[in-house]
Amino acid sequence: MKQTTNFTFLIVDDHSIVRQGVSLLIKELFLNAKIHQAGNFKDTLKILRETKVDLLILDINFPDGNSLNILAEIKNIQSDIKILIFSGYDEDIYALRYINAGASGYLNKGSSEDEMKQAIKSMMISGKYITQNIKDRILDSYISKKPINPLEQLSNREVEVARLLIKGYGNMEIAELLQVKKSTVSTFKNRIFEKLGITNLADLIDFFQLYS
């Protein structure tokens, strides 16, 4: 049965078809839902400054950046907003990073329609949502006192640099993209290799194929 509460949603994804699909699911759950959409960070922040939003459904990667970097800004605009990350990226690597950064939930785009509905309902009722898989990983990590996935040792910035290296970007290109010094990129690269116990790019690619 549809709920009649007047909730306001903001769906942020750079693919229109994803925004439309999520909108349809929300309309099935909430009769009087007000739904806003945005395809980039600029429009997202504009809407948040003008409209009180109950739930923000947010992808990870956009042409104008990575959403991990704007979570703090979103929270500064609306401190009590609920944020559900909805991404194709592996939750084993990214879920806890985003939750620690201020998101309230994480759902993979490969999830079923029922899982998506459950996640949205859970976010509106309890203010949070994580899968049983992530709950188990949190418990395992807490008990063992170490990350199960080696990539969890990497900082958010190190993951960003690693992904650009894997895509074939050179140190200078990465420095320009991230607006840092070339020497800083070299430092990140050295840290990544040291933490993972590897010596070359081929090994880095293998690590990400295996664990992400």
Q: Which has more confidence, 164 or 142? A: 164
Residue 138: its pLDDT value, please? 73
% of the chain exceeding 90 in pLDDT: 63
What integer is the mean pLDDT of 141-156? 75
> Does 143 score more than 90 pLDDT?
no
Residue 177: its pLDDT value, please? 92
Residue 41: its pLDDT value, please? 93
Residue 148: its pLDDT value, please? 61
* DSSP-based three-state secondary structure for 98: helix
Which residues lie below 8 Å from residue 160, measured CB to CB, with a gap of 6+? 66, 178
Cα(9)–Cα(26) distance, rounded to whole angstroms?
9
Q: Which CATH number fits domain 150-211: 2.20.70.10, 1.10.10.10, 3.40.47.10, 2.40.240.20?
A: 1.10.10.10
Mean pLDDT of the chain: 89
Please list the residue range(s) of the chain that carry CATH number 1.10.10.10. 150-211
Residue 172: its pLDDT value, please? 94
Look-up of token digits 């199960």 = 148
Q: How many residues does the chain have?
A: 212
Residue 63: its pLDDT value, please? 77
The CATH number of the structural domain formed by 8-139 is 3.40.50.2300
Please list the residue range(s) of the chain that carry CATH number 3.40.50.2300. 8-139
> Does 139 score more than 80 pLDDT?
no
Flag the least confident range among 11-15, 67-71, 80-84, 162-166: 67-71
User: What pTM value is reported for the model?
Assistant: 0.70
Decide: 16 and 59 in contact? Cβ < 8 Å.
no
Look-up of token digits 């109950």 = 54
% of the chain exceeding 70 in pLDDT: 93
For residue 59, the tally of other CB atoms under 10 A from its CB is 20
Which residues lie below 8 Å from residue 77, measured CB to CB, with a gap of 6+? 45, 48, 49
φ, ψ at 168 (rounded to 5°)? 100, 5
Torsion, Cα 86 204 100 83, to 10 degrees, reads: -10
